[in-house]
Amino acid sequence: MQTFNCQCGNTLFFDSNFCVNCKRDTVTCPHCANVTPVEETPSGALQCGNTACGALLRRCSNDLQYDACNRALDANDVNALCSYCRLNSVVPDLSRNENVTLWRKLEAAKHRVLWVVERLGFPVSGNNALQPNLTFEFKSDENGKVSTGHADGCITISLREADSVEREKTRVEFQEPKRTLVGHFRHELGHYYWDLLVRDFRVEESRHLFGDERNPTYADSQKRYYQQGPAKNWQQSYVSGYASMHPWEDFAETFQAYLDMATILSTTEHFGLVTTSYENFDSMLAAYSRVGIIANELNRDMGLLDLVPQIFNDSVVEKLRFIHQLPVKTEKVTPALTQN
């Protein structure tokens, strides 16, 4: 993730809602995509502090009421919520303070992942322009245990996952190398983009790489996985043991790994640590290999889990390459994104 500059010269971050140096309020401008300081105009609108933009804006309702968003809207927008917050169809009971605290963490992760997804050229829309339409449900366990998952464009995330203690318990129970909120969003978006970009357009190519999703069925594959565990020698063909359960999970796990790679490369390139071409997949892969070694050693120096635990065998590399090409090969369903 890149950083931004305040008018005072201080560094602003993706989730900054004020500058810690000059105390100016900041927002993410939907026009120039910068995190920028804002000044209130005589009309009551906020003006983007990016001199090349200067758009008139107003705050998202989730920012004003819950301090759960820093993404602004156009001053004339009829909606109360920003484009990312409008994707929510269900949120937990926000009259409970503990729910608000956990929900903020979900929103922070969702915003971070969606920003990168859009920059990569994957479509994000909440106005029914895409089918299936992307929506999010954030649910607590008050009326029964909630399972995280995806169905027909709707991504459900359990509020329990925002509790770092509960999430770590689950990670250990399932012997996962890492379990994070951004990881959940990246994985479930993989399911969504299979439905949106693969199912009706490139399904035969997908079956060649990931397997036939029709046989065995998902239900049969899931039952077998939880009875017998991952496929034997899964490391030779998959990015994770869970990916070996079914072609849909293989795609979602690989999609998550691709977003991990693209995000980390974007950050390291922004800070001048690597240079790569995002049009050249092999260049990205080579740069990620170098960054992964450094990042893992830094984490080990601090007694932390590896940042990049995956090993990309030849099969996984070709699956990643397929995902890398998806936004290019499906232009007819991908609306033009604002160029910033």
What pLDDT digit, counting tens, does each position of 120-146 carry?
Answer: 999 997 666 678 899 999 999 888 899
287 and 274 Cβ atoms separated by less than 8 Å: yes
Beta bridge partners of 91: none
pLDDT of residue 17: 93
Confidence bin at 175 (pLDDT 50/70/90): confident
pLDDT at position 79 over 70: yes
Average pLDDT over residues 300-313: 91
pLDDT of residue 184: 96
Give 177 or 197, the one with higher predicted confidence. 197
Give 35 or 130, the one with higher predicted confidence. 35
pLDDT tens for 202-245 read: 999 999 999 999 999 999 999 999 999 999 999 999 999 999 99
pLDDT of residue 126: 64
pLDDT of residue 192: 97
- Say which range, 43-47, 146-150, 175-179, 302-306, has the weakest mean pLDDT: 175-179
pLDDT at position 69 over 60: yes
Query: HEC profile for 103-130?
Result: HHHHHHHHHHHHHHHHHCCCCCCCCCCC
198 and 264 Cβ atoms separated by less than 8 Å: no
Of the chain, the percentage scoring pLDDT greater than 70 comes to 95
pLDDT at position 261 over 50: yes
Give 141 or 103, the one with higher predicted confidence. 103
Residue 260 amino acid letter: D
User: How far, in Å, CA of 117 to CA of 98, rounded?
Assistant: 29
pLDDT of residue 310: 83
Confidence bin at 6 (pLDDT 50/70/90): very high
Confidence bin at 1 (pLDDT 50/70/90): confident
pLDDT at position 72 over 50: yes
Q: Which long-range contacts (CB under 8 A, 24 or more apart) does 94-98 make?
A: 94/66
Largest CA distance in the chain: 67
Average pLDDT over residues 250-273: 95
Confidence bin at 327 (pLDDT 50/70/90): confident
pLDDT at position 290 over 60: yes
Residue 183 amino acid letter: G
pLDDT of residue 334: 36
| Average pLDDT for the chain | 92
Average pLDDT over residues 249-263: 97
